[in-house]
Every structure is written in C-alpha cells, then in structure tokens.
C-alpha cells in the first residue's frame, strides 16, 4: 500500500466496527468507530462507547427521554403517528426548544424530530 485513501478507510471502518461489536457484546457496551481523518501516511479516529441496558444504548438523548417520560407518565412502548407514519419515541433533547422529541420511523428506521406539544397530544396528556 502506497498511501491511505477513503476506500481503505471504509474497509478499516467495517473491520474495526465488527471487532468492536464483539468486544461490546462481551462487556455489555455499544462500541463503534466514529469520525476519522487521514493524511497520506496516517489516520486517526474516535471510538464511541455507550452503556447498554435492556438492549438500548444509554445515550444522553435516551436518558433525557426516560426522565421526560417518567415526569409526564408517557409510555415509551406505544406506537404513535407522525403525519400518518407509525413512529416510536427514541430520544429527547432538552437543548432543543422547538423540536426536542426524537422519533424513529418504524418502516424506514429514519429518525425525525417533533415538537413536545405533538407528543403530549398523541399521548393524551394536557400540558
């Protein structure tokens, strides 16, 4: 190999994430290789490590969601409709005042943001 390039880094990412996945399972963590930067002869990258509980990575957004749901007695197992699309609530960002609710489309697994008032209305809770 003469130099590092994007194609090589993509192969490295696949192999490293595969290996980190096995380590994560052993330690009950979610471990993945994040952003990488490179030059001709070297590369660096970030490794992200998250605690897993009941199969869910305990991200900041998920912990915030658990606190919000507990505060307002919202059932997180309920399937809601966002613009006619079935979604589940997967996160909450206290930093976002306009769209703090993070939902995942059950058909495509894409994530979207929604308003707090939408969630409260869908959950049948008055603000």
pLDDT for 32 equals: 92
pLDDT for 18 equals: 95
The whole-angstrom separation of Cα 84 and Cα 9 is 40
Block mean pLDDT (10 aa), the chain, length 127: 90 94 89 92 92 72 78 83 91 88 92 91 80
Query: What pTM value is reported for the model?
Result: 0.56
How many residues make up the chain in this entry?
127
Task: Give one DSSP letter per residue of 56-108, joined into a string.
Answer: EE--HHHHHHHHHHHHHT--TT--EEETTEEEEEEEE-TT-SSS-EEEEETTT
The whole-angstrom separation of Cα 10 and Cα 23 is 20
The whole-angstrom separation of Cα 63 and Cα 98 is 19
**Measured in Å, how far apart are the chain's first and last C-alpha atoms?**
61
Q: What number of other Cβ atoms are within 10 A of residue 4's Cβ?
A: 16
The whole-angstrom separation of Cα 79 and Cα 67 is 19
């Amino acid at each position: 190999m003469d130099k590092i390039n994007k194609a090589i880094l993509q192969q490295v990412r696949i192999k490293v994430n595969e290996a980190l996945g096995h380590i994560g399972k052993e330690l009950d963590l979610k471990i993945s290789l994040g952003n990488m930067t490179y030059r001709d002869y070297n590369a660096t990258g970030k490794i992200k490590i998250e605690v897993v509980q009941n199969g869910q990575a305990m991200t900041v957004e998920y912990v915030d969601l658990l606190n919000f749901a507990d505060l307002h007695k919202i059932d997180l197992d309920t399937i809601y409709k966002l613009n006619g699309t079935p979604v589940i609530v997967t996160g909450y960002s206290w930093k976002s005042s306009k769209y703090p609710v993070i939902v995942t489309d059950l058909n495509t697994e894409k994530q979207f943001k929604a308003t707090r008032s939408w969630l409260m209305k869908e959950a049948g809770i008055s603000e």
